[in-house]
Copies of this chain bind each other. A is one copy, B any other.
Amino acid sequence: MNPIKNDNYQVFFDDSLNILNNILAQKKYSKIFILVDEQTSEHCLPVLQEKLPQLTEFDIIEVPNGEENKTIDFCIGIWRTLLDFEADRNALLINLGGGVVTDMGSFAAATYKRGIDFLQIPTTLLSQVDASVGGKTGIDMDNVKNIIGTFSQPQAVIICTDFLKTLPERELTSGLAEVLKHGIIADVDFFDELTLLNDAKEITVKHIHKSVSIKNKVVLADPFEKNIRKTLNYGHTIGHAIESWSLVNEKNSLLHGEAIAIGMICEAYLAKETNELSEEELEKITNTFIKFFGRYKIRPGIENALLDIMKQDKKNSNGKISFSLPTKIGNCSIDSFIEESLILDSLKYYQSI
């Protein structure tokens, strides 16, 4: 599978992880750190060590898993560990994990001594198709997602699908949401192909490659999210709000993909009401997400709390809540500012299906 080229780095598809050896041989790093969470420490680090027995000189930094730990406190822990181990500007941080590890690790690396090199080895489907390209780093604060961060490029991204075998099915399905999103905003044929899958376990490296290619093309055209890159936010205004609410209020909280699957249904409704999306396409989108994700119960009464969270969204402008909405499957518009009553209607639509 060919690597996908971004401006200054490439996304490699390499189940052998040999490419990691090559990169480390080319650059003489003074120290190597591997950031893991509890999960990837147990399930992915042994896989990496088995594939690359020659890689022995590194220190491990471990953070707890879960979005609720993508905080400045754990980021300070990473900075302090780098400092305690005397990491200099020629040190390398390898982020081995899902979105929490890749987002927080890359933020820590991008700001430690004004930036050290980092490599992304995303181990979940979600992080392989989403966090792997785009150079967004970030941590959450006060339950607002990715409110603190930078745009910073990794040295390389390495996608090894063997890591997906270590994932619970629920995590795999969560990742499918972003894959489906890439189809809806940019490629109707790809979306149609995905709707034929029985479940997320049928995802192949070809689907992942296609999904990354779509995202990469969008990101290259607009690295700082001034226009077309905003299409990647489809589903995320409402989805992030539901995710944030769930993180605080539910013991078994929603995964990112589960939340934005709901967001994509609600926002497809907004697109039908305000945009050119047809009734039939709204139904097709709704049915596809229900097929893979089932129905989540948005508790009646929380709608205004969700609106309050949406008002904190990074994408807003002048206090208005902003959306990226499909005009048809395979195409997406940006900068739709929708009034609050209609947003509430979209939640009702979801609750009614």
Mark A residues whose CB is within 8 Å of B. 30, 72, 76, 79-80, 83, 86, 88-90, 107, 110-115, 136-138, 141-142, 144, 146-151, 311-312, 314-319
Contacts and interface: CB of A to CB of B under 8 A. Distances in A.
A318 B90 contact: yes
Given A79-B141, A111-B149, A317-B30, A86 B136 contact: no
A57 to B, nearest CB: 13
Contacts of A315: 89
- Those 10 A-B pairs whose CB atoms lie nearest each other, nearest first: A113-B314, A114-B149, A30-B318, A111-B148, A88-B316, A88-B317, A114-B151, A90-B317, A111-B150, A114-B150
B80 A142 contact: yes
B141 A83 contact: yes
Interface of chain A, main secondary structure: loop
A125 B147 CA distance: 34
A335 to B, nearest CB: 12
Contacts of A138: 114
A112 B315 CA distance: 12
A150 B150 contact: yes
Contacts of A150: 110-111, 114-115, 150
Copies of this subunit: 2
A318 B30 CA distance: 6
Contacts of A311: 86
Given A79-B141, A111-B150, 12 more contacts: A79-B147, A80-B142, A83-B142, A86-B311, A107-B111, A110-B150, A111-B111, A112-B147, A113-B147, A114-B149, A114-B151, A114-B314
Contact of A72 (B72, B107, B147, B316): B72
A111 B315 CA distance: 15
Contacts of A79: 141, 147-148
A138 B89 CA distance: 15
Contact of A83 (B72, B110, B147): B147
A142 to B, nearest CB: 6
Contacts of A30: 317-319
Nearest to A151: B114
Contacts of A110: 150
A89 B149 contact: no
A325 to B, nearest CB: 19
Among the interface residues A138, A148, A150, which one has the most CB atoms of the partner chain B within 10 A? A148
A97 to B, nearest CB: 21
A318 B91 CA distance: 9
A96 B153 CA distance: 31
Nearest to A88: B316
A83 B318 contact: no
A265 to B, nearest CB: 26
